[in-house]
Structure 1
Amino acid sequence: MDSGRKISVMLVDDHKIMLEGLETLLSIRSEIEIVGTAQTGEEALSGNLLLTGKVAKKLALTIRNKNRGFEKAGKELELTQKELDLARLLIEGYNSKEIAGKLFLTQGTVKNYLSDIYSKIGTNDRAKAVLLLKRYLST
């Protein structure tokens, strides 16, 4: 791909957390420019092209194939066993107090582990962390 050319992408999803996660994942790619986000088709159609069917599938496959290096990085996070245990509970939707009870830790210790995990995956947002961890731990 030309170093100066970018792929312009409009993200549409009715789930805000998914939309934010996709935006985070795609924004790390230098060749992709997020030109907008929307939560409905109507929002997306206000001046933009809506991709469906084969075109959307081809675009998704292209992005996925270019993103393989990112997926490999997920396997190399080097989380400790305790961080992995905590990450799994986080993915399952447990809050800090519930995680503390399940892992026999204080809430402060859980927050310290969360801070370390967030640092390793490059975010400080819990919702984005959940999305990224799901992706990392499923590869």
Structure 2
Amino acid sequence: MTSLLIVDDHPVVRDGLRGMFAGSAEFEVLGEAADGVEAVRLAAELRPDVVLMDLRMPGGDGVTAIRALKASGSTSRVLVLTTFDTDTDVLPAIEAGATGYLLKDTPREELFRAVRSAARGEAALSPAVAGRLMGQLRREPAAEPLSQRELEVLGLVATGHSNREAARVLFISEATVKTHLLHIYAKLGVNDRAAAVGEAFTRGLLKP
């Protein structure tokens, strides 16, 4: 059973989500929070597997709460569930440490799948959000070189490390590894890990 903490400043939304998850034997809702500050407190107390996090909330926004959770060493995965998919919302949430990012019009079964994926530490992005994120990253200058950290991530990927293993070696979060990979794809003009490694060897960024 996957345990949840629901964070949203609208009581109707919290009630709807609680009812949705309560109808499945797979999930247990441990609590609810109306803002980011309360979310951080309850996450420390309840230790849910997944925190369903809204972003724009009075009294404590979601991105600040995500950063606070990561800084505190929380093992709870954060799955953003929001109405907003603008550039100023998506990337800061991912960089702060969110495992996934969904919009509130996501169908019930897709939301359930995303929560399961988040609980396993796997990325869960709605198609619209993934497209916007890639579009934003691709607007970076094509000639921009890879940073030292990006080269380290790419080197580990080239030797067969998973995102989780790379995160452990570099002492960073798995979400940060994913963000570095997205930057790498954009800078190299590729779409996946294998292509990134191949392009890096072609450019001499990695040595056999």
Q: TM-score by structure 2 length?
A: 0.29
Higher relative contact order (CA 8 A, sep 6+): 1
Greater helix content: 1
